[in-house]
Chains A and B, each alone.
Chain A
């Protein structure tokens, strides 16, 4: 991996993503936080592309930005009386300290490790990925679909209002 463009892109993305994530952490308004979250997801998609996972970058934008973030927005809107407050609990400082420690540990490990890095950047084509998903990981692939179905079915059951249930012919 070389070239100024890559380096530049990396640092820009890093800046954007981290600031966005910090924004999620710091913004007091839930809606703002959602927006920052979307920004983070977008930054993340950029990283994916940078890491030669173009397909996943697309998927990221599609699913996270398109689906999950929207879902979150819906949820925010569905819970109007809960307020838009995105404040912290009293646990903020301890959480920060703990996570700082965890970060320190992880960073120590990352620097401590002697990474075996291949000379050639490995690239995986979307077709290759698809083939892998349908051969070696066909089972998880199928299960993932079951999982999504179940999650949908379950979610629907959970959010059905009482009136709906009352109308239900059962």
Chain B
């Protein structure tokens, strides 16, 4: 394996970003192919990752700062998929918006590469850079729209994100101070060597780090930016944020806890904290979502709640012993399932709002008649978000709850399932508006091709995962196991 091979998937994505800019600059007439370039890059990335898998070649590289294990590979697929879907979903919007197309896709791809690095990083510095590599394009993209809401969202997102970064960095600095190394493995060794000394420092450091990532995960109490940014940002970007940055943050935190802190730290203090955070996040997100009238804002709150659900897996991870593989695999399976589901929902929202020019839920009335496919797909995704079979969301919830039960967190599961109840109320509310309410507007429409394809893929994923969750669960399980083996 040579150097390029080690970062091949990311490299392909970055090259595609560069190509996009190049095409824009050199072949302005061929601009319409830019999305295809992006997709090609992503395809290449996936192909590359597959070649790893087929070679069964997993290793750690760059002096141990990058772990090319099944865990990372799993997320490579997830992020590449997310990016591809968002690219497809963006085509029409970007064209209409008229701001640099190439730059848009380039930013998107760079951010995706950042996610990929995040999933694989085993060094605080690499983690930090990868995080910023993924975040800064997001800030820009959030402000990409020309309306005032978009720039407001971008600025808010950036300033708050920067504060979060600073807090994260302070935590990392303290962690570094505690262990004098930035290598996750080294940190783990140092913690083990240090025994129970200086627990306060470690706690503070970890708390700050978690807070920093908590911002990206969008868990309470670091969630406040979420609804505003989702509402203000261009919808394709919001879709991207909702699944990408959350997934990446969970990916890195899970790895951090496994490889950097080890089960000792985790099980002692953090299981309960994560559990409480999970419970509060779900509850807050769901309760707040109930009174929302803007679909994007509703999805924002729902994503807070979903973050809480994923967090349940994290709480279970924190428990030492054989069971924690379940928790970790729960987290990553959830991220994947959530990616399909939420993307599907957002893509449907993009398609609908492009047509009706509104994000108000009330304007979705009669959607069943106007576009049965869109309404059906959105409803399916909402059902999946609620966690009702036969959808991906059901298995995801089931799986993390299962791991929580095994981690002796029955109360958390009860909170979780009660939250599903609350969430059903507003998710069904949207479905009801589309299917039951009547509207004066009757004209039917079809979504454009790119949206159709990505929507088709997302909903197919939701359904297929709902019916045959086995393979992906297996993969998630394997991926989590490699984490465990490393530690």
A and B touch in the complex (CB under 8 A): yes
A: residues with CB less than 8 A from B are 105-106, 108-109, 112-116, 135-140, 143-144, 146-147, 150-151, 153-155, 157-158, 160, 165, 169-170
Give bound CA distance, A150 to B141, whole Å. 11
A136's nearest neighbour on chain B, judged by CB, is: B63
Interface size class of chain B, counting residues whose CB lies under 8 Å from the partner chain: 35 or more
Q: What mask results when residues 119 to 152 of chain B are scored 1 for a CB within 8 Å of chain A, else 0?
A: 0000101101110110011001101100000010
Give bound CA distance, A73 to B87, whole Å. 36
Question: B28 within 8 Å of A by Cβ?
Answer: yes
Partner of A165, one of B99, B129, B201: B99
**Contact between B137 and A157, CB atoms less than 8 A apart:** no
Question: B198 within 8 Å of A by Cβ?
Answer: yes
Q: Which residues of B contact A112 (CB under 8 A)?
A: 198, 200-201
Q: Which residues of B contact A113 (CB under 8 A)?
A: 178, 198, 200-201
In the complex where A106-B204, A135-B63, A154-B140 touch, is A147 in contact with B129 (Cβ < 8 A)?
Answer: yes
List CB contacts (< 8 Å) of B381-418 with chain A.
none
**Contact between A109 and B65, CB atoms less than 8 A apart:** no
Partner of A157, one of B31, B100, B110, B130: B100
**Contact between B197 and A143, CB atoms less than 8 A apart:** no
Give bound CA distance, A104 to B125, whole Å. 28
Q: Which residues of B contact A137 (CB under 8 A)?
A: 65, 123, 125-126
Give bound CA distance, A153 to B129, whole Å. 18
**Contact between A139 and B65, CB atoms less than 8 A apart:** yes
**Contact between A140 and B106, CB atoms less than 8 A apart:** no
Pairs across A and B, CB under 8 Å, 23 listed: A105-B204, A108-B200, A114-B198, A135-B63, A136-B65, A137-B65, A139-B66, A140-B123, A143-B129, A143-B133, A146-B113, A147-B133, A150-B106, A150-B107, A150-B110, A150-B140, A157-B103, A158-B140, A158-B143, A158-B154, A160-B99, A165-B98, A165-B99
A122's nearest neighbour on chain B, judged by CB, is: B180
Q: Give the Cβ gap from B175 to chain A, nearest Cβ, in Å.
A: 12
Give bound CA distance, A165 to B97, whole Å. 11
Q: Which residues of A contact B28 (CB under 8 A)?
A: 169-170
Partner of A150, one of B98, B137, B180: B137
Give bound CA distance, A144 to B123, whole Å. 15
**Contact between B110 and A146, CB atoms less than 8 A apart:** yes
B167's nearest neighbour on chain A, judged by CB, is: A102
**Contact between B200 and A143, CB atoms less than 8 A apart:** no
Give bound CA distance, A108 to B65, whole Å. 32
Question: B38 within 8 Å of A by Cβ?
Answer: no
B7's nearest neighbour on chain A, judged by CB, is: A139
Partner of B125, one of A140, A157, A165: A140
Q: Which residues of B contact A153 (CB under 8 A)?
A: 21, 103, 106-107
Question: B14 within 8 Å of A by Cβ?
Answer: yes
Give bound CA distance, A106 to B201, whole Å. 9
Q: Give the Cβ gap from A141 to chain B, nearest Cβ, in Å.
A: 8
Give bound CA distance, A140 to B123, whole Å. 10
**Contact between A138 and B62, CB atoms less than 8 A apart:** yes
Q: Give the Cβ gap from A23 to chain B, nearest Cβ, in Å.
A: 20
Q: Is the interface of A mostly helix, strand, loop or mixed?
A: helix
Q: Which residues of A contact B144 (CB under 8 A)?
A: 157-158
**Contact between A154 and B204, CB atoms less than 8 A apart:** no
Q: Which residues of A contact B125 (CB under 8 A)?
A: 137, 140
Q: Give the Cβ gap from B255 to chain A, nearest Cβ, in Å.
A: 16
Question: B117 within 8 Å of A by Cβ?
Answer: yes
Q: Which residues of A contact B174 (CB under 8 A)?
A: 109
Q: Which residues of B contact A150 (CB under 8 A)?
A: 106-107, 110, 133, 136-137, 140
Q: Which residues of A contact B143 (CB under 8 A)?
A: 158
Q: Which residues of A contact B132 (CB under 8 A)?
A: 147
Q: Which residues of A contact B117 (CB under 8 A)?
A: 139, 143
**Contact between B137 and A140, CB atoms less than 8 A apart:** no
Q: Give the Cβ gap from A109 to chain B, nearest Cβ, in Å.
A: 5
Give bound CA distance, A121 to B31, whole Å. 57
**Contact between A139 and B62, CB atoms less than 8 A apart:** yes
**Contact between A147 and B136, CB atoms less than 8 A apart:** yes
Give bound CA distance, A146 to B21, whole Å. 13
13 new A-B contacts at CB < 8 Å, known A112-B200, A165-B98, A170-B31: A113-B198, A114-B197, A115-B177, A136-B65, A137-B65, A137-B123, A137-B125, A139-B62, A140-B125, A147-B129, A147-B133, A151-B136, A157-B144
In the complex where A139-B66, A155-B140, A158-B140 touch, is A144 in contact with B201 (Cβ < 8 A)?
Answer: no
Q: Which residues of A contact B197 (CB under 8 A)?
A: 114
Give bound CA distance, A38 to B7, whole Å. 39
**Contact between A154 and B103, CB atoms less than 8 A apart:** yes
Q: Give the Cβ gap from B58 to chain A, nearest Cβ, in Å.
A: 17
Q: Which residues of B contact A154 (CB under 8 A)?
A: 103, 107, 136-137, 140-141
A154's nearest neighbour on chain B, judged by CB, is: B140
Q: Give the Cβ gap from A102 to chain B, nearest Cβ, in Å.
A: 9
Q: Which residues of A contact B62 (CB under 8 A)?
A: 136, 138-139
Q: Which residues of A contact B31 (CB under 8 A)?
A: 170
Q: Give the Cβ gap from A156 to chain B, nearest Cβ, in Å.
A: 8
Q: Which residues of A contact B141 (CB under 8 A)?
A: 154
B66's nearest neighbour on chain A, judged by CB, is: A139
Partner of B129, one of A108, A116, A144: A144
Most buried by B among A109, A139, A146, A155: A139
